[in-house]
Amino acid sequence: MTKKIAVLGAGSWGSILASVLIENGHQVALYSNSPEQVAELNNKHTNSHYIQDYTYSPKLYATVDLKEAVTDADVVLFVVPTNVTRIVAKQLTPILAELGTKPLIVHASKGLELGSHKRLSEVLAEEIPSENRSGIVVLSGPSHAEEVARQDITLVTAASDDLANATLVQDIFMNDYFRIYTNTDVVGVEMGAAFKNIIAIGAGALHGLGYGDDAKAALMTRGLAEISRLGIAFGADPLTFIGLSGVGDLIVTCTSVHSRNWRAGNQLGQGKDLATVKEEMGMVIEGVNTCQAAYELAAQKNIEMPITEAIYNVLYRDQDVKNEIAKLMQREGRSESDNK
């Protein structure tokens, strides 16, 4: 059934998810905070800063007017960076209250809020009262906008406490190149998605330093062990970490040149400083903030996360990457079954 969907955030992922929804026959309004970007999307049907060599459907309507975007929307899809999700939710709530509508809230972002360490579904639940929404669903998994744009095969997960809402999102998005599974482990899905970005920075750094495939496989495996440990301590189902939003997303983000986190790590490994890497990227590198959140959470729960700590030392304590790798290699011998 055709739905009216408001997509909030017109970066690479928001704009391409909007394209998938249009392809599936839905009516889509794409909200951006930039009048120039809206003009480009509506007039030239391009979004050149975020996605190159791609033409959007003329059916895609972009607007800087949040109220216009969400009026009569059945679904509101948040795809803004983690650090502005609360801000945009705060803007949305009075509009929904005024309109008297109750859309399904979905988010496709990957990170934890700095300071509060909250997952984004928690942030959205706090900011959008239950009388203004019919549910909250997380859309997550191994998916790069550049590949979905060319309708390459991509599989992701729709997670919600309420399976009916996850199934609704599955139905809305699913087509012959974009396949959606459902999941009810919201904690595991959001934590896997957030933490894999930290490990991807490490994988990029190894590449930038010239390390080989053995080192990268080791980082991914031990990285998965430690991010699962942290997620499980917060109630995640261990099985979720071997699913699409866990190991699936870890693999794609640690191996793809499309990944901004991987590319940031690669440049750090080549000796660039973080400020320059961020400025040159011009798009969100979620793993940087999430590394800080995970580092603090691990300390709070007394959980060993040596790789996250090493990456934290590089990002926040100006430590040398090679030195941090050497320290990891000098850790005392362990059994693989040790949970640390």
Ligand X SMILES: O=C(CO)COP(=O)(O)O
Determine whether the annotation assigns residue 10 to a binding site.
yes
DSSP 8-class letter at 242: G
User: What gap in Å lies between CA 263 and CA 261, rounded to an integer?
Assistant: 5
Q: How far is the CB of 263 from ligand NDP (least distance, A)?
A: 12
- Catalytic residue of the set 196, 301, 322, 340: 196
Amino acid letter for position 27 = Q
Strands across the sheet containing 27-31: 61-63, 27-31, 4-8, 75-78, 104-107, 135-140, 154-159, 178-183
Tokens of 57: 């459907």
Helix 213-233 vs helix 286-301: crossing angle, to nearest 10: 50
Residue 327 annotated to the active site: no
- Answer for which of 144, 254, 314, 324 binds ligand X (CB under 6 A) is 144
Interacting positions 269-288 with ligand X (CB under 6 A): 286
Determine whether the annotation assigns residue 135 to a binding site.
no
User: What gap in Å lies between CA 123 and CA 105, rounded to an integer?
Assistant: 12
Q: How far is the CB of 185 from ligand NDP (least distance, A)?
A: 18
User: Could you say which of ligand X, ligand NDP, none residue 34 binds, taking C-beta under 5 to 8 angstroms by partner kind?
Assistant: ligand NDP
- Answer for which of 32, 85, 132, 259 binds ligand X (CB under 6 A) is 259
- Answer for which of 112, 200, 254, 294 binds ligand X (CB under 6 A) is 200
| Binding of ligand X by 86 (CB under 6 A) | no
| Binding of ligand NDP by 13 (CB under 6 A) | yes
User: Could you say which of ligand X, ligand NDP, none residue 200 binds, taking C-beta under 5 to 8 angstroms by partner kind?
Assistant: ligand X
Determine whether the annotation assigns residue 141 to a binding site.
yes
Q: How far is the CB of 143 from ligand X (least distance, A)?
A: 5
DSSP 8-class letter at 35: H
Q: Which C-beta is closer to ligand NDP: that of 218 or that of 251?
A: 251
Q: List C-alpha distances in Å: 160 to 107, 109, 122, 185.
A: 11, 15, 12, 7
Q: Is 8 helix (H, G, I), strand (E, B) or coil?
A: strand
| Binding of ligand X by 245 (CB under 6 A) | no
* Residue 213: its H or E element: helix 213-233
Residues that are catalytic: 196
Question: Contact positions toward ligand NDP, by CB under 6 A?
Answer: 9-14, 32-34, 50, 79-82, 84, 87-88, 108-111, 143-145, 283-284, 286
